[in-house]
Chain A
Amino acid sequence: MREKLLNLKNEALAQIIQATDPEELERLRAHYLGKSGVLNQISKEFKSLFDEEKTETGRLFNEIKSAISQALQPKLENWKTGKLENLDITLPGIRPPQGHLHPVTSAIEEISSIFEKIGFIRVRYPEVDWDWYAFESLNMPASHPARDDWETFIVDAPEHPKLGKIVLTPHTSNGQVREMERLGHPPIRMVNIAKCYRRQSDVSHTPMFHQFEGLVIDENINITHLKGTIDYFVKQFFGPNRKSRLRPYHFQFTEPSFEVDVTCDICLGKGCKLCKEGWLELGGAGMVHPNVLKAGKIDSEKYTGFAFGWGVERTYMMKSGLKIPDLRLLYSNDIRFLNQF
């Protein structure tokens, strides 16, 4: 009985939807709901049911009866008032409201998901931090140019006797020693993505920007693992036809240090006006300097590690081939710009 009722409902609703003229609708109404209609016929069979079935089936019967009449009624009324017209499927669609995510958000989400797949834990550390975490613990001597007031924003606040000044972090590397402190010991695999600040504003620099910082520390970590991680990221993020390379470079908190290049998305490595002999600079990387491990209270004899810290905006530009002529446009919040993403 239950199955019979459900089949009947499906059949009736399908016929109502397909009906194309009022006569047919009227005929369907009589067929299903009329005095000698199908439903009334079925109700007569109730007598043969066991008592315990009667309540349940009765409920279903009522539900189906009202479903059929609810499907019929509006369609019949529309016909009478002439609302139902022939459908022009070439009319424009009515879209749900659609906002836009900022390209920096899209980039951050993609980057973090790539690293999460190989076991990196995403963390968040202060964007306004002590000089100790931003510089001193990273093997940057007091005389280092990055520490002077021409390059780094300094907060007008009292200094901490041990940790020094309060600065706006010029890189996400302040997360390195903080993550060592949080975990206490290797293994460490973190990706720290945050806002950074530097005293620069021109077509390729904004005073606020974003970086993502990778840090891996464990036993037997060596340069081949750094290469492997970078190759993995480059293929995942930029696509299989882009290549990466390491060039010798210099950073205080890594030794050896590298600059990572990716083949240009325009000429694919042949060399063109927009790149440097076929290559674009992605950012810095290197093997964690033993002094940094020491600052994080990690045994630098037993453990080694690597780190990299790259600009989110820059990395995203290099992927998309978005030739944004002025990076400051990203933070202009011009709705005509934002609506394009």
Chain B
Amino acid sequence: MQILIPDSWLREYLQTDAKLKEIQKALSLCGPSVERMHKSGDDFIYDIEVTTNRVDCMSVYGIAREAAAILPRFNHPTKLLSDPFDTKLSFKTADSVDYLKVKIDPTLCSRFSAILIKNVSVKPPPNWLIKKLESVGMRGLNNVVDISNLLMHELGQPTHTFDYDKIADRLMTLRESRVGESIITLDGKTHKLPGQDIVIEDGSGKLIDLCGIMGGLNSAVGNDTKNVLLFVQTYKPNHIRRTSMALAHRTSAAVLFEKGLPSESVLPTMEKALQLFKDLTGGQPETTAIDIINEKAYSKSVTASPDFINSRLGIDLAPKEIKDILASIGITDKIPWWRKSDINIPEDLVEEVARIYGYHNLPSQLMSGPLPTNRANDSEFYWISRIKSALKHWGFTETYTYSLVREDSGLRLKNPLSSEWTYLRTSLSHSQVISENLGRVKQLNLFEIANVYLPQKNGLPTEEMHLLISTTDLNHSKLKGTIEALQIDLGADFHFQIDANPTCLSCEIDLSKILPTATSLRKFTPISQFPPIIEDINVTLNTNYDTLINQIKKISPLIKQVDLIDKFGDKFTLRLTFHSDTKQLSSSDIAPIREKLFRL
């Protein structure tokens, strides 16, 4: 989550001698990260990233509260000027009021609070308010709506205002939506609801609020609004996220509500809002707010011994220092309410101590201790790297293509991102790469090594490491030779098949069966004492080459090697190497063999 915090607004709550850069650095190291800063008029704005577990920092006051704990660790005396949540309420609360009848599904809403404000005059907002909102990227609309926006930014609790007179029968039913119901939100957009969204229906049966996300247009405050219902709640977070994602309607309020807001902030926020309503709109609030709580009273303790904390930190802090650090962020024997969803186990306390003490203050060392001896079957990494290196040096270029493809016999995704990426591939293919690159270079020689995913009846797919080699050089012998050379390098003999296409030749090999047998061990044959006799012969091929060579080799064990030297049509020149390990060969040894060769 990102939030913009103007320096001047922050300093309404914070008294410190720390300058901009110092605040930026200290917060980033120990709390929420200040990713950037920019100037806005005579003010500076911090652009802060708040992690999802720290929704308590998604406000000007939340950041001030953090800064007040962190800055003193950087030798900047700092104190909080006021606590808006520790405030006396100017109104009473009751679980029913005469100006509003409610029916609430208690599983959807942890706290439901509202108060009627009468005789409001809707006007353009004052300049100071416009300026404040604009500095954080919002637009001033009118004095009523802007109060909500201001408070959400300042305190982190969203509020909503209804035109009270547009709520039929003064009745609100808060319930789950039904599939296909629709609502037009304040921004004029019509939403067809997926169902199970939290909504409010009024006495006439129409939906007037898409709770936690945006209010309905039909109950919105307008220029002629006289009476406002101020609405402050906390909701079941999962519902809010699901609706907001499904409708792709990511409002600031939704982003806060879906993280789970503490119900303790509801009434202080209402109090602050009422003050603003009196000042800016002249409205007169009722004396009693409706306030329904659907959760247990909060109280939580988490304990961790100093030894435990120090063992995780790797240093030795005095118990008092640990206690002081925790107290600075409000943690005593109780976890404060604004951290209630975030701090649960002793390790959470370790984190709090460590970050406030400062990760930058901890030493850095490599671990000693025993190494694991039970290695995985990791020789495959060596062989894959070796294959890649060999192919690269033989002129092949490596590709990385997506494992997700448009069509395949393999597993299908339930939620593809595009029709182009719907299936998990069961074989590698260069056809697209080749067609896209044809004409860009004279010749394409490509390879890729990647898993394919073969569906299994029950359970996970089998992941098989495949090698694909493709070339637009249509000389079959060259690609065949490349794979033969790989076989020699891997010390592994395996079957392979070359597929011919009009534009390319390609060969796909299942490495998962080959790599376990790969070896660089070789068999040693003693070098013969006697020189070989080498002779070239011309033959006309009337069978295939392989058969001929086998026939030749069968003639005599002295024929150690037969190489193809040249070929023209069906005329072949072969080089024969005759060799004996036991004696010097002479013409008389070769003559009978030659006889047999001619008779072939």
| Chain A residues proximal to chain B, CB less than 8 Å | 59, 62-63, 96-102, 104-105, 109, 112, 118-119, 121-124, 126-130, 143, 145, 148-150, 153-158, 160, 166, 168, 182-183, 187-190, 195, 197, 199-201, 207-208, 216, 218-225, 227-232, 245-250, 255-259, 276-277, 287, 289-290, 304, 330-331, 333-336, 338-339
Contact = CB atoms under 8 A, between A and B. Distances in A.
Contact of B402 (A149, A207, A248): A207
B403 interface: yes
A73 B33 CA distance: 79
A103 to B, nearest CB: 9
A256 B399 contact: no
A223 B392 contact: no
20 contacts: A96-B395, A105-B398, A118-B366, A124-B376, A143-B238, A155-B412, A155-B413, A158-B458, A160-B459, A207-B402, A224-B362, A227-B365, A230-B364, A246-B359, A257-B351, A259-B33, A287-B350, A333-B400, A335-B444, A338-B397
Contacts of B351: 248, 255-257
Nearest to A219: B369
A309 B314 CA distance: 22
A188 B372 contact: yes
A245 B359 contact: yes
Given A222-B311, A228-B366, A255-B351, A98 B393 contact: yes
B161 interface: no
Interface in B34-85: 34-37, 51-54
B261 to A, nearest CB: 15
Interface stretch (B130-138, B433-441, B487-495, B500-508): B433-441
Given A112-B381, A166-B460, A277-B37, A150 B350 contact: no
Given A195-B403, A338-B398, A99 B391 contact: yes
B245 A247 contact: no
Nearest to B372: A187
B417 A199 contact: yes
A256 B376 contact: no
A231 B413 CA distance: 40
A237 to B, nearest CB: 15
Given A208-B402, A333-B401, A232 B366 contact: yes
Contacts of B531: 59, 62-63
Contact of B367 (A195, A229, A330): A229
Nearest to B530: A59
Contact of B411 (A99, A149, A156): A156
A200 B417 CA distance: 8
Nearest to A102: B398
B24 A277 contact: yes
Given A160-B459, A229-B366, A257-B351, A128 B453 contact: yes
Given A96-B393, A156-B411, A208-B403, A277 B35 contact: yes
Interface string B268-310: 0000000000000000000000000000000000000000000
Given A150-B245, A247-B33, 19 more contacts: A63-B531, A97-B395, A98-B393, A112-B381, A156-B412, A182-B376, A187-B369, A218-B370, A220-B369, A222-B314, A224-B363, A224-B364, A227-B365, A229-B367, A250-B53, A255-B345, A255-B348, A290-B345, A333-B433
Contacts of B398: 99-102, 105, 338
A199 B460 CA distance: 20
Contacts of A119: 371-372
B424 A155 contact: yes
B424 A128 contact: yes
A218 B369 contact: yes
Nearest to B391: A99
A201 B416 CA distance: 12
A97 B237 CA distance: 60
Contacts of A333: 399-401, 433, 436-437
List 9 A-B pairs, minimum CB-CB distance, nearest first: A97-B395, A256-B351, A222-B314, A224-B314, A250-B51, A227-B364, A255-B347, A246-B359, A99-B396
Given A99-B396, A277-B24, A338-B399, A225 B366 contact: yes
B460 A128 contact: yes
B596 interface: no
A128 B404 contact: no
Interface string B304-324: 000000011111000000000
Contacts of B312: 222-223, 287, 304
A51 B407 CA distance: 78
Interface residues of B, number: 95
Nearest to B375: A121
A258 B463 contact: no
B194 to A, nearest CB: 12
B359 A228 contact: no
B18 to A, nearest CB: 16
Given A63-B531, A99-B445, A130-B460, A216 B367 contact: yes
A218 B368 CA distance: 10
Contacts of B461: 128, 166
Contacts of A304: 311-312
B367 A227 contact: no
A304 B345 CA distance: 15
A277 B424 contact: no
Nearest to B47: A276
From B388, B394, B400, residue with most partner A Cβ within 10 Å: B400
A164 B468 CA distance: 33
Nearest to B310: A222
Contacts of A124: 376, 380-381
A63 B367 CA distance: 62
Interface string B410-454: 011111111001001000000001001100110011010011010
A247 B28 contact: yes
A129 B411 CA distance: 13
B582 interface: no
Given A128-B463, A143-B238, A153 B415 contact: yes
Nearest to A255: B347
Contacts of B453: 127-128
A98 B440 contact: no
B160 interface: no
A181 B180 CA distance: 47
B497 interface: no
Contacts of B51: 248-250
Nearest to B437: A335
Given A187-B370, A250-B54, A197 B404 contact: yes
B158 interface: no
Contacts of B372: 119, 121, 183, 187-190
Contact of B355 (A187, A229, A248): A248
Given A207-B421, A248-B351, A335-B397, A121 B369 contact: no
Contacts of B37: 277
Contacts of A168: 413, 424
A169 to B, nearest CB: 11
Contacts of A336: 440-441
A224 B315 contact: yes
A123 B376 contact: yes
Given A154-B414, A155-B412, A248-B351, A98 B376 contact: no
A277 B400 contact: no
Contacts of B459: 160
A232 B365 CA distance: 9
Contacts of A59: 529, 531
B354 interface: yes
A62 B529 CA distance: 13
A99 B389 CA distance: 9
A127 B58 CA distance: 36
Contacts of B31: 248
Nearest to A201: B417
B470 to A, nearest CB: 11
B138 to A, nearest CB: 24
B392 A129 contact: no
Contact of B376 (A101, A121, A250): A121
Given A156-B413, A333-B400, A99 B360 contact: no
